[in-house]
Structure 1
Amino acid sequence: MRTGILIDELGVGFDAMTTQAREAAKLGYSTLWIAQRGGWDALTALPALAAAAPGVELGTCVVPTYSRHPITMAAQALTAQAATGVPVHLGLGLSHKFIVENEFGYSYDRPIRHLREYLQALQPLLRGEKADVHGESLTAAGAVNAPGAQPPSVLIGSVSPQSTRLAGELADGVITTWAGPRAIGEFVVPALGAGSRVVSGQLICVTSEVDESRKWVEETYGGAANIPAYRAILDRDGHRRVSDSMLVGDEETVLRQVKSLEDAGATELLVIPVGSPEEQARTRELLAA
């Protein structure tokens, strides 16, 4: 199973991100992922990460669709791919109703219809073809002239049955969050179909202080359990709290938990290290390459 790692962009300077990228490359991670969480722009940051970690693949997890028209998204993704010279994995997603409506001021009516029309426009644009979509949620009629740029793979940040099935139809796979072996094996993989990528994003802490680690995760990420889409994915694994979904324990325990994800059908692990600086270093070193 391929292993990538999240570059933590929350509340840190740009130098800190490039330092993380250099360290991850030295350890042997195959892909550097960066999120879009209200701070640095993920796609714009990719060339800087590439300069810090030459030859390492890059990905976003995930860029919201509502805030970028498909033509804009395609132009930016192709530019990033050409500028970095490495494979780029374009992770995009619907975000959430409270963000799209309260922050962006857009309607979140029928989001799956929006995602379908978005992908129908985006995919030809990434291939250098003209988009000609006149849908109920968007219009995209035009092309992106980016000579020599290779089309990035497209992955959907997916937590619902409808978006997962759509990813199997119109994208290369999904990026999951909080999903454990049961959710991946019984829900994600069957909904996607054969041949699709399943990038499994996991909070991971290699530690002897399991209770303290779970407490920190609950304090930091626990509110996500109240977001309907995340609540549904946690329920599929029988998890009451976000901290129940994390991979935590000593080296042997964490590797066993990773193996259960692979056995369930995950094709790639997206490591999100949590805990003290020492615990995060221990986690990064264990799961590299």
Structure 2
Amino acid sequence: MRYSILLSFGPTRPEQVVPFANLVKWTAAERLWQGQGMVLESHHLMTWLAGLGIRVPAGFGVSLMPFRSPYQAAVEARSVALATGHPVVAGFGPGSASIQTGLLGRPYPSQLTACREYVQAVRGLLTGRPVELSGAYHNLAANLLPTPAPPVSVGLGVLRPKMAALAGAVADVAITWMGSAEYVGGTLIPAIRGAERDLPEPAKVTAIVPVALSGPDRDVTALATAACGSHAQLPHYRDTLRRAGIEVSGERTGADAMRLVDGGVFLYGTVDEIHKRLDEYRDAGVDEVVLNATGVGLAHGPRAAARDLLEILTAIPGEARTKGEP
């Protein structure tokens, strides 16, 4: 299993990202992941770093489909691969119903159809061949200008079994979020592996996992709330958690936060305790785990988040410290 890191805060200046990119350069971290950039655009940050001379593999998990057309998505992902000189994982998701309504005028009547069309369009464009698509949500007749570039893997954000099956059918990577190792291994991965797939290689599984080291200045309830509270308020996340046996009120309470800790969604403890819980993802069949210290970043600042990530990465078992090693 490979280890990567998620940018643990929303930067307002690009230089704030440098310490996290350097963690990827200097440690066993495979890739620097970002979610949807709401202040500084995520792809622009990676090309800014590349221009500074800090070129590291990038992952986007996930970029929200309503923000960009499939063509623009393919251009941006390939641009990052060209600028960094490294392979890219470009993950996409439909976003919440409120985001879809705000940007598109209404939610997608079928989330699965919209995602299928989007992923297939982006994957097709990245092959360099012309793409003709007349779909329910996306229409396209175009191709990217051909140029040699590092590969871009197209991912799909996965919360529930139907989206997991779709990722298993059409995506290169299935990207899970707020899923315990038990839920990922027992529910999502069987759906991914059971899908009918025409692509030559099976879909890889990347799990983005919220983590925080314990300490005398740490409040686990506050950290779990900061990391996961806003997501747990949304209906589709509450339904996902319910499927995993975790009932939350969606009211951003301390009780909800502790249910996420007790349910294995938010990992809190010493370095050794964190690694024991991360090993459960390996045992579940996850190919890559992305350490998400957002709770620490929001509660204690980016430096504290970077220190947590460094301690966890430094303690990776010796045989797994080589980048790219399974």
TM-score, length-scaled by structure 1: 0.91
Aligned to 1:225: 232
Aligned residue pairs total 289
Partners of 1:179 and 1:109 in 2: how far apart? 25
Q: Does 1:262 align with 2:288?
A: no
Partners of 1:70 and 1:280 in 2: how far apart? 33
Deviates more, 1:43-52 or 1:140-149: 43-52
Partners of 1:86 and 1:272 in 2: how far apart? 22
C-alpha RMSD of matched pairs (Å)? 2.2
Q: Where do 1:143-162 residues align within 5 Å?
A: 143-162=143-162
Report if aligned partners of 1:167, 1:173 keep a CA contact under 8 Å in 2: yes
3-state SS in 2 of match to 1:66: helix
Q: Mark the CA change 1:210 to 1:235 in structure 2 (over 3 Å): closer, same or farther.
A: farther
3-state SS in 1 of match to 2:174: strand
Q: Mark the CA change 1:72 to 1:278 in structure 2 (over 3 Å): closer, same or farther.
A: closer
Q: CA deviation at 1:221?
A: 3.1
Partners of 1:249 and 1:109 in 2: how far apart? 42
Aligned partner of 2:310: which letter?
A: R
Partners of 2:238 and 2:208 in 1: how far apart? 16
3-state SS in 1 of match to 2:272: helix
Report if aligned partners of 2:8, 2:305 keep a CA contact under 8 Å in 1: no
Q: Where do 1:228-239 residues align within 5 Å?
A: 228-239=235-246
3-state SS in 2 of match to 1:108: coil
Q: Mark the CA change 1:196 to 1:268 in structure 2 (over 3 Å): closer, same or farther.
A: same
- The correspondence for 1:287, drawn from 313, 318, 321, is 313
Deviates more, 1:259-268 or 1:47-56: 47-56
Q: CA deviation at 1:220?
A: 5.3
Report if aligned partners of 2:98, 2:107 keep a CA contact under 8 Å in 1: no
Partners of 1:66 and 1:30 in 2: how far apart? 28
- The correspondence for 1:252, drawn from 230, 254, 272, is 272
Partners of 2:17 and 2:146 in 1: how far apart? 28
Q: CA deviation at 1:268?
A: 0.6
Aligned partner of 1:265: which letter?
A: G
Report if aligned partners of 1:203, 1:271 keep a CA contact under 8 Å in 2: yes
Q: CA deviation at 1:150?
A: 3.8
Q: Mark the CA change 1:224 to 1:107 in structure 2 (over 3 Å): closer, same or farther.
A: closer
Q: Mark the CA change 1:7 to 1:52 in structure 2 (over 3 Å): closer, same or farther.
A: farther
3-state SS in 1 of match to 2:215: coil
Q: Mark the CA change 1:263 to 1:184 in structure 2 (over 3 Å): closer, same or farther.
A: same
Which ranges of structure 2 fall in alignment gaps of 5 or more residues?
Answer: 195-201, 249-255, 315-320, 322-326
Q: Mark the CA change 1:37 to 1:213 in structure 2 (over 3 Å): closer, same or farther.
A: farther
Aligned partner of 1:182: which letter?
A: E
Q: CA deviation at 1:16?
A: 0.5
Aligned to 1:214: 221
Partners of 1:252 and 1:107 in 2: how far apart? 43
Aligned to 1:137: 137
Q: CA deviation at 1:133?
A: 0.7
3-state SS in 2 of match to 1:109: coil
Q: Mark the CA change 1:250 to 1:9 in structure 2 (over 3 Å): closer, same or farther.
A: closer
Q: Mark the CA change 1:212 to 1:185 in structure 2 (over 3 Å): closer, same or farther.
A: same
Aligned to 2:39: 39
Report if aligned partners of 1:4, 1:268 keep a CA contact under 8 Å in 2: yes
Aligned partner of 1:250: which letter?
A: T
Aligned partner of 1:130: which letter?
A: P
Report if aligned partners of 1:203, 1:272 keep a CA contact under 8 Å in 2: yes
Partners of 1:211 and 1:235 in 2: how far apart? 27
Q: Mark the CA change 1:104 to 1:134 in structure 2 (over 3 Å): closer, same or farther.
A: closer
Q: Mark the CA change 1:106 to 1:39 in structure 2 (over 3 Å): closer, same or farther.
A: farther
Percent identity of paired positions between Structure 1 and Structure 2: 24
Partners of 1:67 and 1:93 in 2: how far apart? 10
Deviates more, 1:222-231 or 1:124-133: 222-231
Q: Mark the CA change 1:109 to 1:272 in structure 2 (over 3 Å): closer, same or farther.
A: same
Q: CA deviation at 1:287?
A: 2.4
TM-score, length-scaled by structure 2: 0.81
Report if aligned partners of 2:20, 2:306 keep a CA contact under 8 Å in 1: no
Q: Does 1:167 align with 2:167?
A: yes
